[in-house]
Structure 1
Amino acid sequence: MVGKTKPRWQRVLLKVSGEALAGDGTQNIDPKLTMSIAREIASMSRLGIEIAMVVGGGNFFRGANWAGASGLDRASADHIGMMATVMNAIFLQASLESVGVPTRVQTAYRMAEVAEPYIRRRAMRHLEKGRVVIFGAGTGNPFFTTDTAAALRAAEINAQVVLKATNVEGVYDCDPRKNSCARLLDHVSYRQVAAMGLNVMDLTAITLCQENSIPVVVFDLNKPGNISKALSGDRIGTLVDHIGSSVVSELDRLSDLQQVT
């Protein structure tokens, strides 16, 4: 049950990482996880929230990791990675439609047999009609991440927020895998993300969100109910916006002082 009677957001961009779709990692896509995602999106879509999605492809192929292997150049590797995102998009579309949610896949590549080409006005019309729109193939250009694609599409369709669903609870002040004292941050600013080198999004993506005043919420995809909470605007994970936290600002100031001395 969602805590708010009236959702905070009217139109959202939900970014789902490819690695998160693999679940426990025993297979490329965990169908139980995609069905769980679909059911939560369905419940929120019926409340009138307009939902667009960008999905990664790292569960199949991550271009940056393969560049240089067997003579594969970075641009070609990135194109393979972008095609991997389309496989995830089609799988998510099937999951959503199986629970009664009309869904359209739009891709930055032209793939007329399986998806529509990305057309901004058509995407917005689908959203207005209550359809979930999944954007595949990233931006269609190498050297850009799917996080950047999410920020770009969010700005283009006038989304009010980017919701980034990952395998972690939110944004930490340092790597929790290397430091047991790592602290989960509940609110940071765009500036603090860049200054502290926080692992939220790549700099291009976070800059796009900053320039267009689009807040970002980073949360754990694997916790039941989190997608519904994020879509409805409940406070979970980490919020990134212009304001940030005074506590983090003080940590940032002390860090700057240490660098000066």
Structure 2
Amino acid sequence: MLWWKALVLGVVEGVTEFLPISSTGHLILVSALVDYPESQRTTFDVFIQIGAILAVVWLYRGHLWSLLTRAPQEARARSLLAKVLLAFLPAAAVGFFFHMWIESYLFAPHVVAYALIGGGIVLLWVDRRTHPNLVQDIENLTWTQALWIGLAQTLSLIPGVSRAAATIVGGLLSGLSRPVATQFSFYLSIPTLGAASAYSLIQARHNLALDDVVALSLGFVTAFASAAIVVEGFVRFVQRHTFLVFALYRIVLGLVVLLYLV
């Protein structure tokens, strides 16, 4: 792989993974634009996804470490960790049994376009609803809310829907504030993307080659750095703004892709 393709795709992953605009959808579209064959994508996609995941772990290392060290003695910490696990299970089960079918039939630009538009419309609708008595502390999130978010995350297996969008929308509909819905989405990304990356890496282990080290390393580093910058900015953004700009971006991009495909 050429170094500039690794750089571009690493940045695309890092920028889009935790925003409600679909990293998978963008990678499918950008890979087509830079002529990056699907047969070479699996291993590289795993490495850039791992880079993005580790950015979240690094940024939230203080609270995550606090949860892990408090969990043996404190029920609230154990409860939050268990709720993240509960939210992880639905998508893990659906992905495990249907990932081959999804990759065979849904990983296509037209599917991404429709999912971008549909998700943008839903994001517009949800963001404009009034939300009384919102949960303002992530450790006050209920089991029912965690389950609803987990069920919503299963929709993100469709490329273009966006894992971040699905989980944030699920959080908003279940009564979380925007900052808490966003934070829980970040925490949920760790087991979800971690498990998906581990599974894909095991499947693609025979395709690893020393010739790819430079490209894999460059993609990993750029994904980590860009994800860290975006996550910090996104956390500040949702404290003061709605998701309108992301909803409109999704709709416009989806329409542009459809027009291009005509």
| TM-score higher than 0.5 | no
* Greater fraction of residues in strand: 1
Which protein has greater RCO, CA pairs closer than 8 Å, 6+ apart?
2
* Greater fraction of residues in helix: 2
Tell me the TM-score range normalised by the shorter chain.
under 0.3
